Amino acid sequence: MVGYHRYEGVAATTILAELYAALRLYVNFFQPSFKLAEKRRDGARVIKRHHAPATPCQRLLDDPRTTGAVRDRLTTVFAELDPVRLLHEIRRGQERLATIADVTPQTAPPINDALDQFLTGLRIAWRDGEIRPTAGAASKPKRERRRPDPLLSVTGELHDWFLAEPWRTGRELLDKLQAVHPGEHPDALLRTVQRRLKIWRAEQAHQLVFGPMALTPSVSMAS
């Protein structure tokens, strides 16, 4: 489906997520397959009998254990899907990945240590939450802030800079903040910016791994 190239970077991760989201819908709703119903041996001969070809969606609808709510949901999703459009999205995703794979190391954009650490964190993002994306974490009492938030007025601005360039370090973001607002944010706020950056990277890693709908609102942008 995606070849044997090694894809790196946030852009490739996003393309892969979009590609497999379209592929999952196409396979589950439009691609029928055979399922083995019976297998028996007659001497040296093995005889196999299969069920009639059906999509995973059809099998779920035919199962008497499927609840009415699930049936209604599947019917609604199926009515909104267009197999031609899904195939087009799959092909477009493959083309975008091929474009990334064809970039030579000399022309590829440099990846600094901060971005490497961020991408490495994707492999262990599951340790910070439930395996199931829909599982909700138990709410914990929030510790009251002991002092006013020194970045309250510029949190939105910092978050926008992070979204535009997620590989930037806390030091670089603080330097940019000091250049835009001279004399207002001393170097002593570096640890505060770094903690804020750690929360945003964890949120972004969780979205890339589990999807945007899986992120719980337990950590706000201004935390």
Predicted pLDDT of residue 106: 47
Predicted pLDDT of residue 170: 87
Predicted pLDDT of residue 70: 92
Predicted pLDDT of residue 6: 79
Q: In which residue are the tokens 């806390």 written?
A: 170
Residue 29 and residue 57 in contact, taking contact as beta carbons nearer than 8 Å: yes
Q: What are the boundaries of each domain within the chain?
A: 1-108, 110-132+148-223
Taking the CA atoms of residue 193, residue 197, residue 200 and residue 202 in that order, the dihedral angle to the nearest 10 degrees is -140
Mean pLDDT by 10 residues, the chain (223 residues): 78 87 92 88 90 90 92 92 91 87 54 58 56 55 70 86 84 88 86 88 74 46 45
End-to-end, the C-alpha distance of the chain in Å comes to 40
Instruction: State how far the Cα of 39 lies from the Cα of 10, in Å rounded to an integer.
Output: 46
Instruction: State how far the Cα of 77 lies from the Cα of 94, in Å rounded to an integer.
Output: 24
Reported pTM: 0.46
